[in-house]
Chain A
Amino acid sequence: MEAYLDNSATTQVFENVTEIMTRVMHVHYGNPSSLHAKGLEAEKYIKTAKGIMAGQLKVREKEIFFTSGGTESNNLAVIGTAMANKRAGNHIITTRIEHPSVLNACKFLEEEGFEVTYLPVDKNGVVLLDKLEEAVTDNTILVSIMYVNNEIGSLQPFSEISEIIRRKNPKTVIHSDAVQAFGKCRIFPQKEGIDLLSASAHKLHGPKGAGMLYVNSRIKIKPLFYGGNQQDGLRSGTENVPGIAGFGEAVKMAYDNLDEKTQRLSQMKRDFISHLEKLEDVTVFSKNEGCFAPHIISAGFAGVKSEVLLHALEEKEIYVSSGSACNSHKKASSATLQAIGVPKDLLDNTLRFSLSYETAEEELDYTIETLTQLLPKLRLYRKR
């Protein structure tokens, strides 16, 4: 049996999505900027996708911009805002648990003379609101806080966050990296006070290489690329029409029956955690239901290196991540796990199980069963 529990790294593409993409590539392959009918056909796919996204977010279609993925969306949001608001101030606030595409964009801006505050989080990975309040000043041009954390799944109380920021500085732009949230949570940027919101197609059964940035029309940001002025000049370059069409279709399917699917996932997560906790020496970090998204489970396995456990599970066709997949190429302990206070001896012993609506109960049962067999065997050879 195979258990793919790495859906926060990437997901299998839905068949409907592949179908629509194939159609775009083979039949409606025009350049949306072309004046002729082939161009118009292609443009329609983009319009449809925009409509789907705008509908779900309850925003206007012209506020949706397509990019090459989450990383570009985050860079465009963070760097684009900073560059457009240089005169208003040079202070940026983010958190210690952001994705590298936000953190490293901030590092770049620090080199360019901006000041960045990295907010701490509590043991549930939620931003410390009093620290946030302290940090916002007249000089703050941007606050970037992720919606759902990619490693532990922590959710942020966005309405409260925006309220605090707006009270202290109404001009501050609020960005949220919602790559792990879009398609899994109902997000309403207007209501929650989010001006910029990033999303990625391949995290919700869409194709790789397609991303989205919602930009509130009152916000001015500078583009990263210069060229043919497609997408109102904010993102030059011929649109990735098959990717965008597939993205739209994937979003439609993700939000179809969302509440029912979320309920099922939550129940699965609850069961999985209770089974995990019955195993010896396992610590679950993403337990508190109010604070965590229903699709990510982060757990520490004392005495077993996460990489070893990961490969042992792989031999049984169970696929998981150690830390976050983007991070596992370098040998540094996860900043997120450190930020939520995971004890030192569990930092390199933590696995992430990430589910999707497609995950079957049997996959989780099989995983628990396999862990039950593997853990005692692997622990025989603890480093003495």
Chain B
Amino acid sequence: MFKSFLIKYAEIGIKGRNRYLFEDALVGNIRLMLDALEGKFRVYKTSGRIYVDVESDFDYEETVACLKRVFGIAGICPVLQVEDNGFEELTREVLEYLDKVYPDKNKTFKVQARRARKNYPIDSMEINRKLGGAILEAFPEIKVDVHAPDILLNVEIREMINIYSIIIPGPGGMPVGTAGSAMLLLSGGIDSPVAGYMISKRGVRIDAVYFHAPPYTSERAKQKVVDLAAKVAAYTGPINLKVVNFTDIQLYIYEKCPHDELTIIMRRYMMRIAEHFAKEQGCLGLITGESIGQVASQTMKSLAATNEVCTMPVYRPLIAFDKQDIVDIALRIDTYETSILPYEDCCTIFVAKHPVTKPNLNIIKKSETRLEEKITGLVDEAIRTAENIEIIPG
């Protein structure tokens, strides 16, 4: 019965004179996301409201699921739009609406009318009263509750008349792109996709970089990361994924440096390379899925050692999250199943039995001097040969 959605947004409303920028971005993002669906959708902004009208056959569930992934949307209201054919006709439409949407009438309700068109002959209070009376008469089980009704029936008199009572919660956040962009260090694990999701929710466009180490990691491991990126892109929109061949750098570090420092030094080079791409693509920061103390390379000292090579801000949205909390989000955004596929990634294969948990930055730096001979060339080569993959939402 619904051919139209009213899109509610929360935080955008308070952005003062920039408000139109956020609204336009949201309209654009909704259009982009709905583009992937079958059906003809019209997304537009009118008198401070965003609407999605459907002008063809469409799949209601799929459309709602899609809108629930657009950051910046606080609520999605399926709206019945009717023409103004007099109050009697409106009453009939409202009763029919209630009957269809609520097969079980054992509920409380309240009518909330609003006249955007002030020349409508009946005022809001009067509409509330008249419609309320008609509803009580038509459905004997239903009761009025003006404080906490089960059904808050909105009737908005505009050019057309909007009738709606359902608010499906959206993801919240801000429209992607309004905050700038950042480079996500994406591994095949559970954390980094969640980190990308969370930062993107604040309006950040995401690009990503993945380090693989053939033959120590397989094509399947890389495919897994591509699949993960597509799952993240279902929220963030298209992602530019750089796949960096890290094998030679890894082997060189393995050859020259103490093995318990391997992971830290490796991560320092990953950050350096990620930052290179971030600058190249105009990103304003890096994103990682690190969480304090989760593994040896994520103790506070290790994080400090890794962070030291970066000149850009590194956003770590999971820093204070327990693993289970991260898993919960991963499950909710549907990246978990892909993350737990068993293909090895380069972080698991070169780990020492007892990696340092409290690296001393001076010692790490001293170890890195052993790499001086070849490392610049290897890093340049890794950057030069990185593969570019355009990830479309999946």
Could you list which residues of chain A lie within 8 angstroms of chain B, going by C-beta atoms? Answer: 307-315, 329-331, 380-381, 384
Per-residue CB proximity of B334-354 to A under 8 Å, as 1/0?
000000001010000100000
**Contact status of A307 and B344, CB under 8 A, knowing A381-B251, A381-B254:** yes
**Contact status of A380 and B215, CB under 8 A, knowing A329-B342, A330-B342:** no
Between-chain CB contacts (< 8 Å), 20 pairs: A307-B344, A308-B215, A308-B349, A309-B215, A310-B215, A311-B214, A311-B217, A311-B218, A311-B219, A312-B214, A312-B215, A313-B215, A314-B215, A315-B214, A380-B251, A380-B255, A381-B251, A381-B254, A381-B255, A384-B259
Contact B218 A307 (CB under 8 A): yes
Q: How far, in angstroms, from A330 to B255 measured CA to CA in the complex?
A: 30
- CB within 8 Å of A: which of B180-230? 214-219
Q: How far, in angstroms, from A308 to B214 measured CA to CA in the complex?
A: 8
Which of A314, A331, A381 is close to B219, meaning CB atoms less than 8 Å apart? A314
Q: How far is the CB of B350 from chain A (nearest CB, A)?
A: 9
Contact B215 A315 (CB under 8 A): yes
Name the residue on A nearest B221 (C-beta): A311
Name the residue on B nearest A312 (C-beta): B215
Name the residue on B nearest A331 (C-beta): B342
Find the residue from A310, A311, A384 having the highest chain B CB count within 10 A.
A311
Find the residue from A307, A313, A315 having the highest chain B CB count within 10 A.
A307
Q: Which residues of A are found within 8 Å of B349, using beta-carbon distances?
A: 308
| 8 residue pairs, one from A and one from B, having the closest CB atoms | A311-B215, A312-B215, A311-B218, A308-B215, A308-B216, A381-B254, A311-B214, A381-B251
- What 14 additional pairs, Cβ within 8 angstroms, besides A307-B218, A310-B215, A315-B215? A307-B344, A308-B215, A308-B349, A311-B217, A311-B218, A312-B214, A313-B215, A314-B215, A330-B342, A380-B255, A381-B251, A381-B254, A381-B255, A384-B259
Name the residue on A nearest B251 (C-beta): A381
Q: How far, in angstroms, from A357 to B159 measured CA to CA in the complex?
A: 78
- CB within 8 Å of A: which of B344-374? 344, 349
Q: Which residues of A are found within 8 Å of B342, using beta-carbon distances?
A: 329-331
Q: Which residues of B are found within 8 Å of A329, using beta-carbon distances?
A: 342
Q: Which residues of A are found within 8 Å of B251, using beta-carbon distances?
A: 380-381
Could you list which residues of chain B lie within 8 angstroms of chain A, going by C-beta atoms? Answer: 214-219, 251, 254-255, 259, 342, 344, 349
Q: How far, in angstroms, from A310 to B216 measured CA to CA in the complex?
A: 9
Q: How far is the CB of B250 from chain A (nearest CB, A)?
A: 9
Q: How far, in angstroms, from A308 to B254 measured CA to CA in the complex?
A: 16
Q: How far, in angstroms, from A311 to B219 measured CA to CA in the complex?
A: 8
Q: How far is the CB of B259 from chain A (nearest CB, A)?
A: 7
Q: Which residues of B are found within 8 Å of A311, using beta-carbon distances?
A: 214-219
Q: How far is the CB of B253 from chain A (nearest CB, A)?
A: 11
Q: Which residues of B are found within 8 Å of A312, using beta-carbon distances?
A: 214-215
Q: How far is the CB of A360 from chain B (nearest CB, A)?
A: 24
Q: Which residues of B are found within 8 Å of A309, using beta-carbon distances?
A: 215
Q: How far is the CB of B67 from chain A (nearest CB, A)?
A: 37
Q: Which residues of B are found within 8 Å of A308, using beta-carbon distances?
A: 215-216, 349
Q: How far, in angstroms, from A311 to B217 measured CA to CA in the complex?
A: 8
Q: Which residues of B are found within 8 Å of A307, using beta-carbon distances?
A: 218, 344
Q: How far, in angstroms, from A289 to B353 measured CA to CA in the complex?
A: 42
Q: Which residues of A are found within 8 Å of B218, using beta-carbon distances?
A: 307, 311
Q: How far is the CB of A368 from chain B (nearest CB, A)?
A: 18
Q: Which residues of A are found within 8 Å of B259, using beta-carbon distances?
A: 384
Find the residue from B215, B216, B217, B344 having the highest chain A CB count within 10 A.
B215
Q: How far, in angstroms, from A384 to B217 measured CA to CA in the complex?
A: 19
Q: How far is the CB of A233 from chain B (nearest CB, A)?
A: 40
Q: How far is the CB of A56 from chain B (nearest CB, A)?
A: 38
Q: Which residues of A are found within 8 Å of B344, using beta-carbon distances?
A: 307
Q: How far, in angstroms, from A380 to B255 measured CA to CA in the complex?
A: 8
Q: How far is the CB of A313 from chain B (nearest CB, A)?
A: 8
Q: How far, in angstroms, from A331 to B216 measured CA to CA in the complex?
A: 15
Q: How far is the CB of A382 from chain B (nearest CB, A)?
A: 10
Q: Which residues of B are found within 8 Å of A381, using beta-carbon distances?
A: 251, 254-255
Q: Which residues of A are found within 8 Å of B219, using beta-carbon distances?
A: 311, 314
Q: Which residues of B are found within 8 Å of A331, using beta-carbon distances?
A: 342
Q: How far, in angstroms, from A313 to B214 measured CA to CA in the complex?
A: 11
Q: How far, in angstroms, from A377 to B349 measured CA to CA in the complex?
A: 17
Q: Which residues of A are found within 8 Å of B216, using beta-carbon distances?
A: 308, 311
Q: How far, in angstroms, from A354 to B349 measured CA to CA in the complex?
A: 28
Q: How far is the CB of B52 from chain A (nearest CB, A)?
A: 43
Name the residue on A nearest B250 (C-beta): A381
Q: How far is the CB of A325 from chain B (nearest CB, A)?
A: 13
Q: How far is the CB of B85 from chain A (nearest CB, A)?
A: 58
Q: How far is the CB of B246 from chain A (nearest CB, A)?
A: 14
Q: How far, in angstroms, from A331 to B343 measured CA to CA in the complex?
A: 10
Q: How far, in angstroms, from A311 to B342 measured CA to CA in the complex?
A: 16
Q: How far, in angstroms, from A312 to B218 measured CA to CA in the complex?
A: 9
Q: How far, in angstroms, from A308 to B344 measured CA to CA in the complex?
A: 11
Q: Which residues of B are found within 8 Å of A384, using beta-carbon distances?
A: 259
Q: How far is the CB of B351 from chain A (nearest CB, A)?
A: 10
Q: Which residues of A are found within 8 Å of B215, using beta-carbon distances?
A: 308-315
Q: How far, in angstroms, from A309 to B215 measured CA to CA in the complex?
A: 7
Q: How far, in angstroms, from A311 to B220 measured CA to CA in the complex?
A: 11
Q: How far, in angstroms, from A384 to B257 measured CA to CA in the complex?
A: 13
Q: How far, in angstroms, from A23 to B255 measured CA to CA in the complex?
A: 59
Q: How far, in angstroms, from A193 to B259 measured CA to CA in the complex?
A: 59
Q: How far is the CB of A379 from chain B (nearest CB, A)?
A: 12
Q: How far, in angstroms, from A380 to B254 measured CA to CA in the complex?
A: 10
Q: How far, in angstroms, from A313 to B215 measured CA to CA in the complex?
A: 8
Q: How far, in angstroms, from A313 to B259 measured CA to CA in the complex?
A: 26
Q: How far is the CB of A218 from chain B (nearest CB, A)?
A: 46
Q: How far is the CB of A374 from chain B (nearest CB, A)?
A: 9
Q: How far, in angstroms, from A186 to B218 measured CA to CA in the complex?
A: 38
Q: How far is the CB of A338 from chain B (nearest CB, A)?
A: 21
Q: How far, in angstroms, from A270 to B93 measured CA to CA in the complex?
A: 86
Q: How far is the CB of B261 from chain A (nearest CB, A)?
A: 14
Name the residue on B nearest A314 (C-beta): B215
Q: Which residues of B are found within 8 Å of A380, using beta-carbon distances?
A: 251, 255
Q: Which residues of B are found within 8 Å of A315, using beta-carbon distances?
A: 214-215
Q: Which residues of A are found within 8 Å of B217, using beta-carbon distances?
A: 311
Q: How far, in angstroms, from A56 to B254 measured CA to CA in the complex?
A: 57
Q: How far, in angstroms, from A310 to B217 measured CA to CA in the complex?
A: 10
Q: How far, in angstroms, from A384 to B255 measured CA to CA in the complex?
A: 11
Q: How far is the CB of A230 from chain B (nearest CB, A)?
A: 38
Q: How far, in angstroms, from A331 to B254 measured CA to CA in the complex?
A: 25
